[in-house]
Amino acid sequence: MRKEYKLSLIIFISIFIFDQFVKYAFVNFSWEVDGPYMSLKLAYNYGVAFSMFAFLQEYLKYIQLVIALVATIYLVKNKEIFYKYFIPISILYAAGLSNILDRFTYGAVVDYFYWHYGFEFAIFNIADVMINLAVAIIIIMQILEAREEKKKKSKS
């Protein structure tokens, strides 16, 4: 097994299990805490980001599974993309599939971080943060690659 696959699996399992553990704890052990800037408060998101598409609540888990399956097929057919971006892809899959599992387990995504200092922000979870981190890593990698290509072109 290639080292990328091994590391990818370790990243995936670590993030997935940690995220599910924290969500389970919020649902079952009432970890709620009120703070002056941010609170930990259990909430269920029946939609996607900022509760958009909540009207699709019953179908979102299946729609998201199909998207994950299509993405997996794409990565299997384009292995060079996986090898290039395996770290953010592993993070993205772990977080995304953890949120999908919530939909099957709890009927919605379990959220608990609630920012309320200066303005009220959407309630979110660790998986949401990981999804944003993965996307940011991909964007940074793309920017660095574009700069490197520009340097090579300017030298020739």
Please compute, for residue 110, the number of CA atoms within 13 A of its CA located in the half-sphere on the CB side. 24
Which is the catalytic residue, given 19, 34, 102, 111? 111
Tokens 């299509």 appear where?
70
Which is the catalytic residue, given 19, 34, 102, 128? 128
Contact predicate 128/94, CB 8 Å: no
Active site residue 19: no
Whole-angstrom Cα distance, residue 152 to residue 130? 33
Active site residue 102: no
Beta bridge partners of 39: 114
What lies within 8 Å, CB to CB, of 5 at 6+ separation is 86
Query: Considering Cα of 92, then 98, then 104, then 110, what sign does the dihedral take?
Result: negative
Contact predicate 108/46, CB 8 Å: yes
Contact predicate 12/94, CB 8 Å: yes
Catalytic residues: 111, 128
